[in-house]
Structure 1
Amino acid sequence: MQAVRRVKSDHETITFFVAFGAVRQMCRLATTFDTQKQAFSYLQKHRTEFEQMARTRLASGELEDGVVVLSML
């Protein structure tokens, strides 16, 4: 499983994809950072934890409109 660079998003969320074999799952991360650059840097540093959270939510069927939604506290 690997994170792929995010697609363009608004200032409050960043979107990234997690690969599960040949399938890519869209994930949206609501952030508390002022800029997307800061949020993406944090995502890269803690990628393993976010991938695990995304995997857990996907396995339990916790999707919103087909997207895994995560948020920073």
Structure 2
Amino acid sequence: MAKSTATDVRIAKDDTSSGGHTIAFALAIGATRQVCHLETSFCTRNQALAYLQRNRTAFEQMAREQFARGEVTDGVIHLRMI
């Protein structure tokens, strides 16, 4: 059985004063999609997106673990840089 991964990625300017970006992506959990936000400290969107792509497997695993523990805030799993 092929592993399905979501490729929807959105990048939004972080509201914090750190100047970082928040990347929103969808994680496939069974037949549903779970929204995840990754907070980064990168100055550019391209840097933030490249960081997510390099570490996507680790972030997906962390998001699945948080989902299993019920750590979902307002329907969103919040992640930070590793």
The alignment partner of 1:4 has SS state of coil
Greater relative contact order (Cα < 8 A, sep 6+): 1
Unmatched 5+ stretches in structure 1? none
Answer whether contact 2:10 2:23 (CA < 8 A) is retained.
Answer: yes
Answer whether contact 2:22 2:39 (CA < 8 A) is retained.
Answer: yes
Cα distance change, pair 14–59 in 1 and its aligned pair in 2 (3 A): same
* Cα separation, 1, equivalents of 2:25 and 2:32: 13
Partner in structure 2 of residue 36 of structure 1: 45
Partner in structure 1 of residue 18 of structure 2: none
* Cα separation, 1, equivalents of 2:70 and 2:27: 15
TM-score (ref. length: structure 1): 0.88
In our comparison, the structure showing a higher alpha carbon Rg is 2
Partner in structure 1 of residue 5 of structure 2: 2
Matches within 5 A, 1:28-67: 28-67=37-76
**Alpha-carbon shift at residue 36 of structure 1 (Å):** 1.5
The alignment partner of 2:7 has SS state of strand
Unmatched 5+ stretches in structure 2? 15-20
Answer whether contact 1:27 1:68 (CA < 8 A) is retained.
Answer: yes
**Alpha-carbon shift at residue 8 of structure 1 (Å):** 4.4
Cα distance change, pair 45–3 in 1 and its aligned pair in 2 (3 A): farther
Structure 1 runs of 4+ off > 3 angstroms?
A: none
CA RMSD of aligned residues (A): 1.5
Q: Percent identity?
A: 48
